[in-house]
Amino acid sequence: MTKKERLNRITESIIGAAIEVHRDLGPGLLESAYETCLAFELVERDLKVEQQKPLPVVYREVKLDCGYRLDLLVEEAVIVEVKAVDHLAPIHKAQLLSYLRLSGCKVGLLINFNVKVLKDGIRRVVNDFPDSPRSLRAQR
């Protein structure tokens, strides 16, 4: 399995788990509730999940803990940023893209649970995705 195929499988599993959580809970809860339930659902699906993982900033070759935390890191490869907001704003995507750059991860999912239909609240964000032509990466 290529790196791209592995990342695609992981993101598909995460989306399936998020849909299950949203189906059970619906919109209107706090982000922390969705995050905890999604982490539980992912573990139930035999995925490795790290919750609230610290993300240091490297400045002048020194790792500094600036208080950044990844909501979820799945299989040490995919960052999941959980939201429960009226609508996703450009700053949410920028935040996830920054996390991808700082961590070296290639793929992240921005999931807003405060929507009627969860597919409307999911955004996939990539940073230098494997096997993708540069022009496609720039469009995402």
pLDDT digits (tens, 9 = 90+) for 83-114: 999 999 999 999 999 999 999 999 999 999 99
pLDDT value for 48: 98
Write out pLDDT tens, residues 17-28: 999 999 999 999
| Residue with the two structure tokens 């907001």 | 85
140, 134 Cβ separation under 8 angstroms: no
Could you give the count of Cα atoms lying within 13 Å of 20 in the half-sphere of its Cβ?
14
Contact 87, 58 (CB under 8 A): no
pLDDT of residue 140: 39
Q: Which residues contact 96 (CB under 8 A, 6 or more apart)?
A: 79, 81, 108, 110, 125
pTM for this entry:
0.88
Q: What is the DSSP letter of 139?
A: H
pLDDT value, residue 135: 35
Read off the pLDDT of residues 39-87 as tens digits, 9 standing for 90 and up: 999 999 999 999 999 998 888 888 888 889 999 999 999 999 999 999 9
Per-residue model confidence (pLDDT) at position 129: 62
